[in-house]
Structures are given as structure tokens and as C-alpha cells.
């Protein structure tokens, strides 16, 4: 048995085109008018025949039917416009009361459809995350979403490439970076990194990596050649003397190996001793740097000036612009390709999300709770915004537009009222004729 929460909601019926609705409305108006004309004709014929006998009944029916038809015609027309263009009081009700109707309709929508408890109840009943998981679990749906995102990505990249948009974004980013207090931000970052000795862990890892590199044979060969080159420049006589009694290359290898062993031993000493002088010195250096970043105005001023120079450096801007152009060109080419790697990654991500939402009830419940919180917090502001938008939109309609929209929606039913008024009026005329006869 299927879960009612996963049952698809009924679809909103489609509205016929305006031309078709206008044609239906005209047909109903013609039908109501035809009924009125027929009754008026019957009334004229009954008067011609003397209104005696059967013609008296016909006259009573037709007379009352004409009165009912005209009264209902007046009432229906008075909703939308002035009957015959004459200034009857309390006519053209909809155009005249458009501002009040706009406000009342907006309040009705806000309080009856957009109130927070109603939205939350509907959200709980829909269980959108379960629906989304079930929908994304199907590969064709996930691929359809990935294809849509692929096309949307191309459109967005095309918009960003517009010189005005790109200039606006670049200006916004530059202004944001100009206002950034880089000195204080760097101090906060370093303070966070030094919390609970995390900077010492980084320091230790860096030393261990250095020792590992120095222990490798390629690095030792390079170190040997560098040491020999330095020795040849600084102490050429010593190096020539060594070359006379021993193999210079072998001496270099031994020197590099000894240097590596010494460096490795020193690194392990530093790593194993939390109170090693080098560790303590590193602590003091970092603390002093954090203090200067936060408290030294001259140091902060120099950092700010350097940041501004870099931000407005043409070479840097050209470099960043070139990187963006290359990235954008690659993205556009990939998004335009039938074998788009980005689309494939979006497909895989959509499928993984679908499986996670479908199989992990805890995740679904957590996300539903967050979604519920977002709706609960944002609904009051959004419902007021929606009500204001509805009221302004309706107020902004031209009177003819308002009349046409409402008349197309309910006009055919109002024409049935005219027909009913004609028939009911005629029947009442028969009853009155019978009682008076």
C-alpha cells in the first residue's frame, strides 16, 4: 500500500486561452440576450392578442420574465461597468472599489493560505525530502536535472561574460577586499591556528617532512653538490687538499649523509621534546606576530598598503582575468559537450543525494527539521511581502484589465444567472397571475 505522503498532489487544471474564454462568454451573453428578446416578443404578441384566455397566461409569464431578465442584466452589468453608460449609484463596483478589493484579497491570501501553521502543516504532509529522494533515485530524473543544470550553467557563464556584469562583479569583489582588515583577519586566523597547540602540530609535521626529504638519495646528491660548490667557493685550498688525498665526490656524499643524519637527529629531538628551545622560540614568534597583527597600527598600515598595491596592480589583474578567461572557456566547452564531465558529475551527485534521502531516515528527518525551521522563521516576512505584492499588482491593473480578468473567470456563470432570472421571473409571473385570477 503506497504512502499517502508520497501520493502526487492533484495537478492544477490548465486555463483555456483568452480567445477561447472570450468566445464562450460571448455565446452565453448572446443566449441570455436571445432569451430576453424572445420573452419581449411573446409579451408584444400577447398584448396584440388582447391578453385574454391563454394569452393572459403568456403575457403574465413574458412580462415577469422580461422584468427578471432586465433586473438581472442590470445587476450583472453593474458589477463591471455603468449600465448604458449612465451614472447609476452603486454601479461599476469592481473598478470603483479596486483598491479595497486588492487589499482585502491580499489579506485573505496572506491569512488563509500563507499563514505559518498552514504552511508548516502542508510541509509536513508533503514530506518534500522523501519525494525528492524518490524522484532523484530514478536515473532519467537525475539526468534531466543534470541536463537542466548544465544548460543553466552555460547561461550564467554567458551572463557573467558580459562586460558590464563582469565589471560590476570585479568592482564589488575589489571593494569588498579593500574594506577587509587583512591585518586583524590574519591575526584572528593565526590565533585560531595556535589554539590548543595546533600550530605546533603543523610545525612538527613540517620538520618531519623536511627530515624525510633530506634522508632521500636524490636530495642527498643535490646537497652534496651544493656543499662542495660552497666549499670550493669559500675554501678552495681545503677542497684541493682533500681532492689530493681522497675522492672529492665520495667526500661530498659522506658530508651530505652526515649532514642529513645530524639534521634528522635534531628534528627528532625537537619533535620529542615539547619544551625544546626551538619549539618555545616558535611559540614566541607566532605570539609576537599575532600581537603585531592585532595591535601594531604601523604594521597593519603597511599590510593594508601592500594589499591595495596588489589589488590595483595591472599585472595581477591581468593574470586573474586571464585565469578566469581560461576557466570560463573550459567550462563553456565542457558544458556544451554531449559528453560533459560536469554534467556527469552532477548526475552522480544527484543520484547519490537521491539514494541518501531515500535510505537514510535520520538524514531526512534532520533536513526536514532544518527546512521546517527555515520556513517557520521566514514565513512571516515572506507572507507580508507576498500580500504587499498581490495588493500592488491588483492596484496596478487597469480597470479594463481587472474587469476582463474577473468577467472571463465568472462571466459565464453570471449569464446563467440572467437566464435563471428570466425563467424564474416568468414562473413567478404565472403564479401571481393565477393568484390574481
245, 272, 299: which is the final residue of a domain?
A: 272
> 60-64, 239-243, 304-308, 372-376: which has the minimum mean pLDDT?
239-243
Q: Is residue 371 assigned to a domain?
A: no
For residues 108 and 102, give the distance between their C-alpha atoms in angstroms, rounded to a whole number. 10
User: With 80 as the cut, is the pLDDT of residue 336 above it?
Assistant: yes
User: What does the pLDDT read at residue 5?
Assistant: 40
Residue 236 domain flag = yes
Boundary-marking domain end, from 211, 244, 272: 272
Q: Which residues, in sequence order, are CB contacts of 110 under 8 Å at separation 6+? A: 383, 384, 386, 387
10 Å CB burial of residue 252 (0-12, 13-18, 19+) is buried
Average pLDDT of the segment spanning 270-281: 81
Q: Is it the case that residue 287 has pLDDT exceeding 50?
A: yes
Q: Give the confidence band of 239 by pLDDT, cuts at 50, 70, 90.
A: low
0.75 exceeded by pTM: no
Q: pLDDT class for 303, splitting at 50, 70, 90? A: confident
Q: How far apart are CA 394 and CA 304, in angstroms?
A: 53
Q: Which pLDDT belongs to residue 236?
A: 66
End-to-end CA distance of the chain: 68
The fraction of the chain above a pLDDT of 70, given in percent, is 86
Which range, 264-268, 323-327, 403-407, is most confident?
403-407
| Phi-psi label, residue 53: left if phi above 0, alpha if psi -120 to 50, beta otherwise | left
Q: Is the pLDDT of residue 1 over 50?
A: no
Give me the pLDDT at residue 12, please.
Answer: 53
**What's the CA gap between 199 and 209, in Å, rounded?**
15
Is pLDDT at 6 greater than 60 in this prediction?
A: no
Whether residue 218 has pLDDT greater than 90? no
81 domain-assigned: yes
For 356-379, what is each residue's pLDDT tens digit?
988 888 888 899 899 999 988 888
CB atoms within 10 A of CB 399: 14
Question: What integer pLDDT is reported at residue 235 of this predicted model?
Answer: 61
With respect to residue 209, please indicate whether it lies within any of the assigned structural domains: yes
219 vs 99 pLDDT, higher one = 99
Tell me whether residue 312 is in a domain: no
Residue 7 has pLDDT above 60, yes or no: no
**CA–CA gap between residue 81 and residue 402 (Å, rounded):** 11
Domain-ending residue, one of 272, 300, 322: 272
Nearest partner of 129 among 368, 431, 410, 375, judged by Cα: 368
Q: Is residue 332 one of the residues assigned to a domain? A: no
What mean pLDDT, rounded, does the chain reach?
81
Per-residue confidence band for 245, with pLDDT thresholds at 50, 70 and 90: very low
Q: What is the pLDDT of residues 107-117, one digit of tens each?
A: 888 888 888 88
Q: What is the pLDDT of residues 159-188, one digit of tens each?
A: 776 667 667 777 777 777 777 777 778 777
- Spatial CA neighbour of 226 closest among 261, 265, 266, 253: 253
Higher per-residue confidence, 266 vs 144: 144
Give residue 241's pLDDT. 65
Give the residue numbers spanning the domain of 213.
Answer: 198-272
Per-residue pLDDT at 247 exceeds 70? no
Phi, psi angle pair for 134, to nearest 5°: -65, -40
**Confidence at residue 2, expressed as pLDDT on a 0 to 100 scale:** 41
Q: What is the mean pLDDT of residues 347-355?
A: 90
The count of domains in the chain is 2
Answer whether residue 246 shows pLDDT above 60. no
Q: Is residue 235 part of a domain?
A: yes
For residues 116 and 398, the answer to whether their CB atoms sit within 8 Å is: no
pLDDT by residue (tens digit) across 72-109? 999 998 988 888 888 888 888 888 888 888 888 888 88
Residue 410, in any domain of the structure: yes
Amino acid at each position: 500500500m503506497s504512502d499517502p505522503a508520497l501520493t502526487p498532489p492533484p495537478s492544477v487544471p490548465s486555463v483555456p486561452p483568452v480567445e477561447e474564454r472570450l468566445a464562450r462568454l460571448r455565446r452565453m451573453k448572446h443566449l441570455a440576450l436571445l432569451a430576453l428578446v424572445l420573452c419581449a416578443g411573446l409579451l408584444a404578441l400577447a398584448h396584440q392578442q388582447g391578453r385574454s384566455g391563454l394569452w393572459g397566461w403568456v403575457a403574465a409569464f413574458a412580462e415577469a420574465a422580461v422584468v427578471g431578465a432586465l433586473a438581472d442584466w442590470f445587476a450583472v452589468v453593474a458589477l463591471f461597468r455603468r449600465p448604458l453608460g449612465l451614472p447609476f449609484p452603486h454601479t461599476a463596483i469592481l473598478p470603483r472599489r479596486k483598491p479595497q478589493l486588492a487589499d482585502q484579497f491580499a489579506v485573505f491570501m496572506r491569512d488563509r493560505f500563507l499563514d505559518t501553521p498552514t504552511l508548516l502543516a502542508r510541509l509536513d504532509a508533503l514530506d518534500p525530502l522523501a519525494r525528492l529522494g524518490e524522484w532523484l533515485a530514478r536515473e532519467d530524473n537525475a539526468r534531466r536535472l543534470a541536463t537542466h543544470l548544465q544548460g543553466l550553467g552555460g547561461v550564467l557563464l554567458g551572463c557573467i561574460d558580459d562586460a558590464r556584469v563582469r565589471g560590476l562583479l570585479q568592482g564589488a569583489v575589489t571593494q569588498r577586499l579593500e574594506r577587509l582588515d587583512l591585518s586583524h583577519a590574519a591575526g584572528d586566523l593565526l590565533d585560531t591556528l595556535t589554539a590548543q597547540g595546533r600550530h605546533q602540530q603543523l610545525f612538527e609535521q613540517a620538520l618531519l617532512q623536511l627530515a624525510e626529504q633530506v634522508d632521500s638519495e636524490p636530495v642527498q646528491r643535490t646537497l652534496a653538490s651544493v656543499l662542495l660548490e660552497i666549499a670550493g667557493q669559500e675554501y678552495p685550498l681545503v677542497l684541493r687538499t682533500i681532492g689530493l688525498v681522497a675522492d672529492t665526490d665520495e667526500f661530498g656524499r659522506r658530508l651530505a649523509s652526515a649532514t642529513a643524519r645530524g639534521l634528522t637527529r635534531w628534528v627528532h629531538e625537537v619533535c620529542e621534546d615539547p619544551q625544546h628551545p626551538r619549539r618555545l622560540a616558535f611559540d614566541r614568534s607566532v605570539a609576537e606576530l599575532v600581537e603585531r597583527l592585532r595591535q601594531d597600527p604601523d604594521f597593519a598600515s603597511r599590510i593594508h598598503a601592500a594589499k591595495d598595491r596588489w589589488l590595483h596592480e595591472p599585472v595581477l589583474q591581468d593574470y586573474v582575468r586571464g585565469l578566469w578567461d581560461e576557466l570560463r572557456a573550459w567550462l563553456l566547452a565542457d558544458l556544451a559537450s554531449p559528453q560533459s564531465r560536469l554534467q556527469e558529475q552532477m548526475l552522480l551527485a544527484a543520484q547519490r543525494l537521491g539514494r541518501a534521502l531515500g535510505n537514510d531516515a535520520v538524514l531526512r528527518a534532520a533536513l526536514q527539521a532544518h527546512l521546517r525551521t527555515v520556513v517557520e522563521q521566514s514565513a512571516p516576512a515572506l507572507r507580508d511581502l507576498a500580500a504587499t505584492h498581490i495588493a500592488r499588482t491588483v492596484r496596478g491593473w487597469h480597470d479594463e484589465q481587472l474587469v476582463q480578468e474577473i468577467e472571463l473567470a465568472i462571466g459565464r456563470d453570471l449569464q446563467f444567472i440572467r437566464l435563471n432570472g428570466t425563467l424564474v421571473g416568468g414562473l413567478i409571473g404565472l403564479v401571481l397571475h393565477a393568484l390574481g385570477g
